Amino acid sequence: MSKTRRSATIDPKLLELLVCPLTKGPLELDVEKNELISRLANLAYPVRDGIPIMLPSEARATDADDKV
């Protein structure tokens, strides 16, 4: 059984208000990967069913090759 991935749809106004919980810096939406990227923390927070999971324990480390 294949698992379908839902696209990250976040209200633009909400995206303006959200910040990285560690750095309090801005986040960028990566629609293809369903993630919110914190460039300052080099972390990517997952978006599941349109809900950003803003827990550092759920984030993955990003590298220079990750582009939004």
Domain ranges for the chain: 12-61
> 14-53: per-residue pLDDT in tens?
999 999 999 999 999 999 999 999 999 999 999 998 899 9
**63 token code pair:** 């590298």
Which secondary-structure segment (H or E) carries 38? strand 35-38
Query: What pLDDT is recorded for position 29?
Result: 95
| The CATH number, out of the four listed (3.40.47.10, 2.20.25.10, 3.30.390.30, 4.10.410.60), of the domain defined by the range 12-61 | 2.20.25.10
**pTM for the model:** 0.81
φ and ψ of 13, to 5 deg: -65, -40
Quick one: pLDDT at residue 3?
A: 45
pLDDT of residue 7: 53
The pLDDT of residue 4: 44
